[in-house]
Amino acid sequence: MISIEGLTIRYGTHKVIRDVDLTMKPGEFLTLLGPSGCGKSTLLRAVAGFVAASQGRIVIDGRDVTRLDPEHRGIGFVFQNYALFPHMTVWKNVAFGLRSRGVNKSETAERVEEALAMTGLSAHASSRPAQLSGGQQQRTAIARVLVTRPSVLLMDEPLSNLDATLRVRLRADIQRLHEDLNITTMYVTHDQQEALALSDRVGVLREGRIDQLDRPRDLYHNPANSYVCQFVGSANVLDTDTALRFGLRRPDAGDRQVHVRPECIRLTEHPVTEHASPGVVTDVTFLGLLTEYAVDVGGARITSLVGSHADGRWRPGETVSCGFDGSNAMWLSAGGAN
């Protein structure tokens, strides 16, 4: 279990992590999600002990580790770039961490075999990293960490160097490993789908603060603000005039604007919802699984996403009724620094 209390990290005068509080449950898979430069790696590296806290505390399994060296924290860290020893076999790479921990030969053999089996690498034990695919190299890096039996697993963008197909396959491997081993895992990515697919909870980071920490479905359907809404998916953001065209007005809206996800926008011949307005189709983009329609509604561009198997009938220039259910209108403000 990990508990982070009031953590602040400064590089010189630059505050990279700003007063972050976060508690993980035992066995939880938690992902830090955010754009490049928002502080994800810094926060993860602080938990590992590679970066010192300027203020605040980090507690792992009831022990204050804030001032402890990385090797005394009981953590395993998986890097984006694998960091394998090129001249050693897979077997030796995995065994390496045990030697420095003084584990004897027979136990080392047993634990290495076990870690290789867990990561599906038994057949590659005598290969060198250069003879492996990117996915196998990253699985070796994961095996090398698992063999030390960490109480907490930290992973910093472990799939970023892989192509799209391998990324999805290794994502499934990580999911299965977590189900089998149930190790408390903190994971970092800038890929929203990866975060939503893998995690029990996702923390959306903006400039060193966590804007929202929630289960994937809650983040997606009930985002705390416009930033979170648009980082975990995409959204049509309606200005006041456009909202009025759809029959939406909220006297207490303040600086909040209506956000509607593209898959909630329906294009029909006649209005079918209370919140509908005529529009003209301007672009049709076939994306394979989905088809994207852009519709001009009184000068505003509204995007609709429809399953390609179910549709394909609107053409540019056609007039349609563009609408959505009131329950899909999210009133959100920009949020952020306060």
Nearer to ligand ADP, 160 or 333 (CB): 160
Binding mask 58-97 for ligand ADP (x = CB under 6 A): ----------------------------------------
Q: Which of 228, 252, 253 is nearest to 238 (CA)?
A: 253
Q: Which of 37, 193, 212, 47 is nearest to 202 (CA)?
A: 212
Nearer to ligand ADP, 26 or 37 (CB): 37
Amino acid at position 103, single letter: V
Place of tokens 């899909």: 328
Tokens of 308: 């390609």
Q: Which of 5, 15, 10 is nearest to 207 (CA)?
A: 15
Binding segment for Mg ion (CB under 5 A), chosen from 36-44, 69-77, 197-205, 233-241, is 36-44
Nearer to Mg ion, 124 or 190 (CB): 190
In the complex, minimum distance from the CB of residue 210 to ligand ADP, in angstroms, rounded to a whole number = 12
Tokens of 220: 């997606």
Instruction: Name the E strands within the chain.
Output: 2-11, 14-23, 29-33, 55-60, 63-64, 75-78, 152-156, 184-189, 201-206, 209-214, 236-238, 257-260, 266-268, 275-286, 290-297, 300-307, 319-324, 330-332
In the complex, minimum distance from the CB of residue 157 to ligand ADP, in angstroms, rounded to a whole number = 8
In the complex, minimum distance from the CB of residue 178 to ligand ADP, in angstroms, rounded to a whole number = 22
Question: Is 204 an interacting residue with respect to ligand ADP (CB under 6 A)?
Answer: no
Binding partner of 37, given ligand ADP, Mg ion, none, CB within 5-8 angstroms per partner class: ligand ADP
Q: Which of 43, 23, 18 is nearest to 33 (CA)?
A: 43
Binding partner of 11, given Mg ion, ligand ADP, none, CB within 5-8 angstroms per partner class: ligand ADP
For the chain, the residue count is 338
In the complex, minimum distance from the CB of residue 46 to ligand ADP, in angstroms, rounded to a whole number = 9
In the complex, minimum distance from the CB of residue 38 to ligand ADP, in angstroms, rounded to a whole number = 4
Write out the DSSP string of 243-287. HHHTT---TT-TT-EEEE-GGG-EEESS--SSEEEEEEEEEEEE-
Which residues does 71 contact at the CB level (< 8 Å), separation at least 6?
none
Nearer to ligand ADP, 167 or 259 (CB): 167
Binding mask 16-55 for ligand ADP (x = CB under 6 A): x-----------------x-xxxxxxx-------------
Nearer to ligand ADP, 15 or 256 (CB): 15
Nearer to Mg ion, 41 or 199 (CB): 41
Sign of the torsion formed by the C-alpha atoms of 108, 111, 114 and 118 = negative
Nearer to ligand ADP, 16 or 267 (CB): 16
Nearer to ligand ADP, 206 or 261 (CB): 206
Question: Is 41 an interacting residue with respect to Mg ion (CB under 5 A)?
Answer: yes
Can you tell me the distance from the alpha carbon of 94 to that of 7, in angstroms, rounded to the nearest whole number?
33
Tokens of 6: 């009031």
Binding partner of 257, given Mg ion, ligand ADP, none, CB within 5-8 angstroms per partner class: none
**DSSP bridge partners of 151:** none
Binding partner of 104, given ligand ADP, Mg ion, none, CB within 5-8 angstroms per partner class: none
In the complex, minimum distance from the CB of residue 207 to ligand ADP, in angstroms, rounded to a whole number = 9
Which parts of this chain interact with Mg ion (CB under 5 A)?
41
Which parts of this chain interact with ligand ADP (CB under 6 A)?
11, 16, 34, 36-42
